[in-house]
Amino acid sequence: MTILEAQHLTRVVDDERIVDDVSVTISESDVLVVVGPSGAGKSSLLRLLNRLDEPTEGTVLFEGTDYRSIPPRTLRQRIGLVPQDPALVPGTVAENVARGAILRDESVDDAAVERLLERLGLADYTDRDVEDLSGGEKQRVAIARTLYNEPDVLLLDEPTSHLDPDSEERVEALLSELIRDLDLTVVLVTHDEDQARRFGERVLALRDGVVDRVGPVEEVLA
Ligand SMILES: Nc1ncnc2c1ncn2[C@@H]1O[C@H](COP(=O)(O)OP(=O)(O)OP(=O)(O)O)[C@@H](O)[C@H]1O
């Protein structure tokens, strides 16, 4: 079943078409990897997919509904983004993971927080101050924070780009496990074609905001 359908998505900033007429369909359990050189518009495309930025032209259908008719907060809960920079708030690991619930004034599901931390290899980290975490640990907290909302689609922006090789391997392995075990639908941005090969089923290659190629990983990254 199709979950997301980008239709002619375009964003113009200062007369520059940073995302230009991108149409792509994402089905349930798809892992679509977006690749392209620096400045190709990969992060910009991701931010358009959950309307963190507003399209200048085109739109996205989420489960068949134009996403502009869905309240932004609901939309961003359903289509969750893990940003390139984890941007944690001062406080404990648990407070960051449950950030969505706290912002929505909902009670926190402590058991769900614990389950996620365990899945992300952070079992005893609940009360740790996020200031004291390594880059890889912060990134894993950011992933848990987005997954806490149980999104239908997970958007990952360069999830390992700031990490040292050991942390990169760890985060990549954890993400692969999560994708498989939770049967996640994912759009993952990376500049690293090897990483795209490791994750990808389908690859979308962007160049100057335009879709250069889209298709199975072995064809696009041959
Ligand atoms: N808010 C903005 N205002 C002006 N220009 C922007 C804005 N956001 C992005 N751009 C420009 O849009 C283009 C695409 O940027 P984007 O960050 O999406 O590329 P990217 O492929 O993710 O690059 P990288 O791999 O370096 O992160 C760049 O030329 C960038 O300078």
Q: Dump pLDDT digits (tens) for 113-145.
A: 999 999 999 999 999 999 999 989 999 999 999
Binding-site residues, ligand 1, Cβ < 6 A: 13-14, 18, 36, 38-44, 191
pLDDT tens-digit readout, 67-83: 999 999 999 999 999 99
Which atom of ligand 1 lies at the shortest distance from residue 44's CA? 18
Mutate to test the pocket of ligand 1, among 10, 12, 13, 207 (most ligand atoms within 8 A of CB): 13
Amino acid at position 95, single letter: E
The pTM assigned to this predicted structure is 0.94
219 pLDDT band (50/70/90 cuts)?
A: very high
Mean per-residue pLDDT, 41-47: 97
> What residue ranges do the domains of the chain occupy?
2-88+154-221
CB 117 within 8 A of CB 97: yes
Residue 42's alpha-carbon distances to 37, 75, 92, 104, 137, in angstroms, are 9, 20, 31, 29, 24
Distance CA 57, CA 92 (A): 41
Task: State which of 34, 44, 85 you would mutate to test the pocket of ligand 1, scoring each by most atoms of that ligand within 8 A of its C-beta.
Answer: 44
Q: Where are the alpha helices (DSSP H) in 29-184?
A: 42-49, 72-78, 93-97, 99-103, 110-119, 135-148, 165-181
**Do residues 47 and 9 lie in contact, with contact meaning Cβ atoms separated by under 8 Å?**
no
* φ, ψ at 7 (rounded to 5°): -120, 110
- ipTM comes to 0.92
CATH superfamily of 2-88+154-221: P-loop containing nucleotide triphosphate hydrolases (3.40.50.300)
